[in-house]
């Protein structure tokens, strides 16, 4: 469903989140799973896995000062 959601609402509006580590977590490799998906563009992965959060939380990129 992720590609459909990104197409519907826009990749700039979705952020990755995780509750790991929890005792009942099924996998600690969720970022690797998303990064390795062939049905998402590199731009979608970059936005969802970091750039959107950096923008929303106003985090400076390393070396931007």
Buried b (16+ CB within 10 A) or exposed e, 14-27: bbbeeeeeeeeeee
60 pLDDT more than 90: no
What tokens were used for 10? 């826009």
Residue 46 backbone dihedrals phi, psi, to 5 degrees? -60, -45
Domain ranges in the chain?
2-18+30-56
Structure confidence by residue, pLDDT tens digits, 11-54 = 999 999 887 777 777 677 889 999 999 999 999 999 999 999 99
């Amino acid at each position: 469903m992720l590609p459909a959601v990104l197409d519907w609402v826009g990749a700039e509006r979705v952020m990755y989140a995780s509750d790991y580590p929890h005792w009942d977590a099924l996998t600690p490799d969720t970022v690797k799973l998303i990064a390795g998906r062939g049905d998402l563009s590199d731009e979608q992965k970059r936005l969802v896995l970091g750039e959107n959060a950096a923008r929303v939380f106003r985090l400076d990129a390393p070396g931007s000062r």
